[in-house]
Amino acid sequence: MPCRTYKTDVGVAMVCGPTLRPTIHCYECGKPGQFLCDGLREGKPCDRPICYQCRANRGKELDYCADCVKVFDEGMKVGQ
């Protein structure tokens, strides 16, 4: 049974199973990505994988990558 070890902020986690899905890595830092960016790029969903540390949360279940949060924040400044 294959196992993978992940280093986290609070320790180490080990996941074992008969088949493991490929790990999706964070677009920014390379750690395992748990979220997909909710921003828009050229009118389409960005959907870049991002980890907990790299995500920029801007509301209930709205997570952005670094590129999309800049666009979001600029839009908020213009709207004020």
Q: Name the phi and psi angles at 16, rounded to 5.
A: -125, 150
Reference 37, options 21, 23, 22, 57; nearest CA is: 57
Distance in angstroms (rounded) separating the CA atoms of residues 13 and 22: 16
Verdict on whether the full-model pTM lies above 0.85: no
Domain residue spans of the chain: 22-79
pLDDT in tens, 35-76: 999 998 888 999 999 999 999 998 888 999 999 998 888 776
Q: Is the pLDDT of residue 80 over 80?
A: no
Helix and strand element counts for the chain (H, E): 1, 8
